[in-house]
A = this chain, B = another copy of it.
Amino acid sequence: MAEFNSEPLILAAQEFAKLPGIGMKTAQRLAYFILNSSEKEVEDFAQGLIKARKSMRICKSCMNICSSDICPICEDEKRNKKLICVVESPKDVSAIERSGGFDGVYHVLHGLLSPINGIGPDKLKIRELMQRLTDCDEVIMATSPTVEGEATAAYLSKLIKPFEIRVTRLAYGLPAGASLEYADDVTLLKALQNRSEL
């Protein structure tokens, strides 16, 4: 971004470059789009984001993002409140809801343990989870099968075990629709170990 670039283009591109996964080339492309839009359109876009952020609340029960004190899932009387599914982020709640196979409630940690990045247990919504265990039958660990995800699940599992609550983990195995020959070794090994009767 040298001097010959027009100032408004630089200003807009610098804003977009703040976003995750948006490099300088994409930022410039988006900036150019903004400058080609009418002032009204840009105002609407900007105000839309401000409004979305302002309307955001965190559910007092499950810590998910919502627009009220208690999220629609926690408020739903048909949901099994004694079955808590622990996830990393609100995106994971959406993903599991899409599967249509879960009728319990969630608990959003808002991150995973990662000592390397300085994320310890105090940075996650773990205290809030522990407070919910008084009336709970089962906690499902639904963190990603990554190093951080596994470590977080193991850590929480140890914390929860003394409460004599069932702690489970999402199954490992082949992704549906995937071709066996492209499955990695670890996935294939887990799929073999966890094979079920037909």
Whether B6 pairs with A48 at a CB distance below 8 angstroms is no
| In the assembled complex, A43 has its CB within 8 A of some CB on chain B | yes
* Closest CB in chain B relative to A91 CB, distance in Å: 6
Q: Is the CB–CB distance between B35 and A52 below 8 Å?
A: yes
A5-44 contacts to B (CB < 8 Å) = 5-9, 11-12, 14-15, 18-22, 26, 28-35, 37, 39, 42-43
Known: A46-B46, A46-B47. A52 touches B34 (CB 8 A): yes
Complex Cα distance, B3 from A17, in Å, reads 31
**Copies held by the complex:** 2
Closest CB in chain B relative to A67 CB, distance in Å: 4
**A8's contact among B20, B31, B55, by CB below 8 Å, is which?**
B55
Residues in B with CB closer than 8 Å to A7 are: 55, 66-67
Contact between B45 and A91, CB atoms less than 8 A apart: no
A71 at interface (Cβ–Cβ under 8 A)? yes
Q: How far is the CA of A77 from the CA of B189 in the complex (A)?
A: 71
Q: Which residue of B lies closest to A55 (CB)?
A: B8
Q: Choose one: B18, B29, B51; the contact of A11 (CB below 8 Å).
A: B51
Pick the 3 closest A-B CB pairs, nearest first: A46-B46, A12-B52, A11-B52
